[in-house]
């Protein structure tokens, strides 16, 4: 994974794609935080039914009696 990350950095710099505009960080702070919040909320809404289904079907069990 480290090699892939290093290769990605080299690739982005070579093709001129490592700028703030291209990477999506050129928005004003207020708008960026708004977009980030929307993305977080959408991810949360998508994950809640999956987690509930895992616990509801007994695929995942919570350990209430934890013994070290």
Q: Which of 68, 50, 4 is nearest to 60 (CA)?
A: 50
The structure's pTM equals: 0.57
Alpha-carbon gap, residue 60 to 4, rounded angstroms: 33
Q: Determine the pLDDT at residue 42.
A: 98
Instruction: Provide the b/e sequence for 54-67 (b: ≥16 CB within 10 Å).
Output: eeeeeeeeeeeeee
Pull the structure tokens for residue 46. Answer: 């998508």
Q: Beta-strand (E) ranges in the chain? A: none
Walk along the chain (68 residues) and give the pLDDT tens digit of each residue. 999 999 999 999 999 998 888 887 888 999 989 999 999 999 999 999 999 998 888 887 767 666 66
3-state helix vs strand vs coil in the chain, percent to 5? 65, 0, 35
């Amino acid at each position: 994974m480290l090699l892939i990350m290093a290769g990605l950095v080299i690739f982005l710099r070579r093709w001129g794609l490592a700028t703030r505009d291209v990477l999506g960080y050129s928005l004003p702070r207020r708008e960026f935080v708004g977009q980030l919040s929307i993305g977080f909320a959408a991810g949360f809404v998508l994950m809640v039914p999956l987690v509930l289904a895992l616990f509801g079907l007994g695929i995942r069990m919570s350990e209430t009696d934890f013994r070290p």
